[in-house]
Structure 1
Amino acid sequence: MSDSDTVFVFSDHSGTWIPTGLFPIPNRAMNFGDGIFETMVFDQNQIRFSEFHQDRALRALEALGIKPTHFDLDLLQDFLATRFSGNKLRVRLNLFRSGSGKYTPNENSLSQALHLEPFHEAPRVKPIAGISDSIRLSHTPWSSFKTLNAMPYIMAAQERQKRGWDEILLRDAQGRLSEAGASNLFWQKGNEIFTPDLECGCIGGVSRRVIMEEAANCGLEAVEGSFYPADLNQAERVWVSNVTGVSYLDRIESKQFSTESLLWLDKLFD
């Protein structure tokens, strides 16, 4: 699968996805990071959790003041099913403001760009995680969405690499736990499942929503709140998750946790 076969843009004129060579460069996504993206999994003939992705993307576009004209994941799913039926793909959908201008836009219509890659499942266990010393996240009206300006996560990934970790945990400006480098953060203590609140600057992940709803369905108490690194000391299990699946953390710095699978959790991403 080559980039030339798997990069498309949406044509408002024809109402179809076309090769990226017909798309104007530069654009506001390139110049300002003026938009958001959704990372999804296309499996055989459908987009996993498509309704949740559609809901988050529409809320994100509203928050940024971008008109959602022609945004339709059902249409995208039909395109993928026609062209890539039987494949399992990682789908990156960029949604950004059309036109040019400087910081002040000259229009608020929507442009869409699509990049497809082979799907790679998240590793079941990440042996070593640490807490970032250099990156702090902030809560804003758009911090729960996946914006095209991902600089905090790029810098966090560099810190993780330099320190030889498999995962990095991020905090907000008040020192509260927020999320992992590219995933939401969860932990279990008895019958309770914990995850940081969106006010702590984390992404409102689709897998986060799926996990918290399923935990409640399984009779577990799903708790969102403000937590600090010390709150992890009493956890039995800690894991991170995005749409590619769940990774259990074996160790956070010197503290070790169980990596025994939770069947109700793992089956969500089968």
Structure 2
Amino acid sequence: MSDTDTTFVFSDENTTWIPLSSYPIPNRGMNFGDGVFETMVFDEVKIRFLDHHRQRAKEGLLALGIDTKYADPRSIENLIAFKYPGQKLRVRWNLFRSGTGKYTPLENHLVQTIHLEPFHASPKVKSLAGFSDSVRLFYSPWSRFKTLNSLPYILAAQERLRKNWDEILLLDASGNISEAGASNIFWEKDGQIFTPSLFCGCISGVSRRVIIEEFWKKDITILEGAFDPMEILNAERAWVSNVTGVSYLDKLNQTKFSTEPIEWLDKIFE
């Protein structure tokens, strides 16, 4: 697969996706990060967790005041099923405000682009993780969405590489655990499951939502809240998740965790 044959833009006029070799510059997505995005998995025949992606995308657009008309990943699913049947693909769906202008938008129409690439599942185990000392996250009315301004995660990824870690955990402005570099974080202690509240500035991940729902279906208590880093350092097991799957943490700082998988949890992403 190449970038030239796996990038498409949605045509409002024809209500269909057309191949894209370039998009006009300047645009508000590039100039201001004025939009949101979804990372999705096409699982050979369908987009995994499609309804959850659609809901989060629309909620993000509404938070930014962008028209939600045509914001429906079913059209993406139909396109991929027709052009790339039987393939497992990672789908980047960008949704941003049309027009240029300056800080004040001149219009609120929706522009959509997608980019497809081969899917690679999350590693089953991440050997070494640590806490970021250079990036803090802040709660806002839009912090739960994946906006096109992803600088905190870029800077965190650079720190992770410098320190030769496999994963990095981010804290919020109050020093509470927020999330991982590109994933949500969960841990298990004394038979209970914990994950940070959205008020700690983390992304409202699709996989986070699915995992929480599955635990509740199994009548397993999962607690959302503001947790000091010592809470996870005293846990027995910890894992991170995004739409590509679950990765268990082997070691966080000097704390060693169990990496025994939760089989039913892993199967959600198979």
Normalised to the residue count of structure 1, the TM-score between the two structures is 0.98
In structure 2, the partner of 1:71 is 71
Please give the residue correspondences for 1:128-143 in structure 2 after superposition, counting only pairs within 5 Å: 128-143=128-143
Which deviates more, 76-85 or 253-262?
Answer: 76-85
Runs of 4+ in 1 over 6 A off after TM superposition: none
Deviation at 1:230, TM superposition (A): 0.4
Q: Deviations over 1:169-212 (max 9, x none)?
A: 00001000000000000001233111000000000000000001
In structure 1, the partner of 2:210 is 210
Q: Matched residue of 1:78: which SS?
A: helix
Deviation at 1:22, TM superposition (A): 5.8
CA contact (8 A) 2:129 2:165 kept: yes
Q: Deviations over 1:197-248 (max 9, x none)?
A: 0000000000000001101112210110000110013211100000000000
Root mean square deviation of aligned Cα: 0.8
In structure 2, the partner of 1:181 is 181
2:16 maps to a residue whose letter is T
Q: 2:209, 2:16 → 1: CA distance?
A: 30
In structure 2, the partner of 1:264 is 264
In structure 1, the partner of 2:42 is 42
Deviation at 1:20, TM superposition (A): 1.5
In structure 2, the partner of 1:27 is 27
Deviation at 1:26, TM superposition (A): 1.9
Q: Matched residue of 2:21: which SS?
A: helix
Q: Which residues of structure 1 form unaligned runs of 5+?
A: none
Q: Matched residue of 2:250: which SS?
A: strand
Q: Matched residue of 2:128: which SS?
A: strand
Deviation at 1:71, TM superposition (A): 1.3
Q: 1:84, 1:171 → 2: CA distance?
A: 40
Q: Which residues of structure 2 form unaligned runs of 5+?
A: none
Q: Deviations over 1:101-152 (max 9, x none)?
A: 1010100010001000100000000000000001000000000000000000
Q: Matched residue of 2:212: which SS?
A: helix
In structure 2, the partner of 1:90 is 90
In structure 2, the partner of 1:191 is 191
Q: 2:190, 2:116 → 1: CA distance?
A: 40
Normalised to the residue count of structure 2, the TM-score between the two structures is 0.98
In structure 1, the partner of 2:250 is 250
Once the two structures are aligned, what percentage of the paired residues are identical? 60
2:130 maps to a residue whose letter is G
CA contact (8 A) 2:4 2:21 kept: no
